[in-house]
């Protein structure tokens, strides 16, 4: 069993819809939870990170972490065609460079105009 | 400010041939990472450098992979000889000295897509 599980999709929704992306994990030592966006033929870019449990909002994006359920989510409001990409969840035990980041396999998202 | 630069962007070789990838991190970033991303998977760490020192190479297949970071700036990752299973995207990332920031964000390059025939 992988440490981080993520539904690969693909997920296709109409423009303006609310998108929900999710990951589960097994390592209770994870404290930092990240969401990366990866466009085709590009490297991943960090969207946002959350420390421990709770919610964090940044514009149209909201990240949620439920450590009791080992479940994290990313919500995208008012989705745009430019949001079409692969979204990778990622986690680590600490914030320093010594803390290895474990990535999910990514969910491919397509926003239909 | 320029991001992480990698070259070549694409490489096609026959199995048993050698191949090398080059990475230039963001200026001032002390930590450099090499990741491998297989198709449909997330990146997996191969090696991490703090300045010139390889501080975590536990996931690097040392029988055929080697890496170096001369002068603590640019880095090269080499595979010799390449095998069919090495086909993947090789990503380089860099981050600031973690003592200077509360969260150690990694910035990724565009990657080198390797195809081994």
pLDDT, tens digit, 9 for 90 and up, residues A11-58: 999 999 999 999 999 999 999 999 999 999 999 999 999 998 889 999
**Which residues of chain A lie closer than 8 angstroms to B40, CB-CB?**
8, 105-106
Contact A95 B111 (CB under 8 A): no
Contact A104, A26 (CB under 8 A): no
Contact A45 B31 (CB under 8 A): no
pLDDT, tens digit, 9 for 90 and up, residues A74-104: 999 999 999 999 999 999 998 888 889 999 9
Question: E strands within A1-113?
Answer: 4-6, 11-14, 19-25, 32-38, 45-51, 54-58, 61-66, 71-76, 85-92, 102-103, 107-112
Chain Cα centroid distance, residue A82: 17
Residue in A8, A32, A43 closest to B108 by CB = A43
Is B105's Cβ below 8 Å from some Cβ in A? yes
Chain B 42-61, CB below 8 Å of chain A: which residues? 42-45, 48, 50, 55-56
Residue B65 clears pLDDT 70, i.e. is over it: yes
Q: Which of A65-69, A93-97, B41-45 is predicted least confidently?
A: A93-97
Q: Which residue from B minimizes the CA distance to A92?
A: B104
Chain Cα centroid distance, residue B38: 14
Chain B nearest C-alpha distance from A98 (Å): 8
Report chain B's mean pLDDT, rounded to a whole number.
93
**Which residues of chain A lie closer than 8 angstroms to B111, CB-CB?**
42-43
How far apart are the C-alpha atoms of A74 and B87, rounded to whole Å?
A: 31
Is A45's Cβ below 8 Å from some Cβ in B? yes
Contact A43 B4 (CB under 8 A): yes
How far apart are the C-alpha atoms of B33 and B90, rounded to whole Å?
A: 10
Residue B101 clears pLDDT 70, i.e. is over it: no
What's residue B68's pLDDT? 95
User: Which residue shows structure tokens 């970033």?
Assistant: B29
What's residue B1's pLDDT? 65
How far apart are the C-alpha atoms of B77 and B65, rounded to whole Å?
A: 7
User: Helix, strand or coil for residue A81?
Assistant: helix
What's residue A1's pLDDT? 77
Residue B38 clears pLDDT 70, i.e. is over it: yes
């Amino acid at each position: 069993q992988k440490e981080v599980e993520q539904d690969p999709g693909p997920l296709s929704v109409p423009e303006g819809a609310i998108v929900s992306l999710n990951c589960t994990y097994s390592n209770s030592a994870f404290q930092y939870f990240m969401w990366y966006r990866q466009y085709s033929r590009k490297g991943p870019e960090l969207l946002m990170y959350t420390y421990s449990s709770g919610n964090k909002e940044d514009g149209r994006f909201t990240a949620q972490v439920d450590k009791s359920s080992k479940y994290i989510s990313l919500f995208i409001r008012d989705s745009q065609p430019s949001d079409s990409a692969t979204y990778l969840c990622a986690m680590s035990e600490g914030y320093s460079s010594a803390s290895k980041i474990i990535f999910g396999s990514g969910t491919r998202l397509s926003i239909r105009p | 400010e320029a991001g992480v630069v990698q070259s070549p962007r694409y490489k096609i070789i026959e199995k048993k041939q050698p191949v090398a990838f080059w990475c230039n991190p963001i200026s001032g970033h002390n930590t450099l990472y090499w990741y491998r991303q297989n198709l449909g998977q997330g990146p997996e760490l191969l090696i991490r450098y703090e300045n010139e020192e390889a501080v975590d190479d536990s996931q690097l297949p040392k029988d055929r992979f080697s890496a170096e970071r001369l002068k603590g700036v640019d880095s090269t990752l080499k595979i010799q000889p390449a095998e069919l299973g090495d086909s993947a995207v090789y990503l380089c990332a860099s981050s600031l000295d973690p003592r200077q920031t509360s969260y150690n964000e990694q910035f990724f390059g565009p990657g080198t897509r390797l195809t081994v025939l």
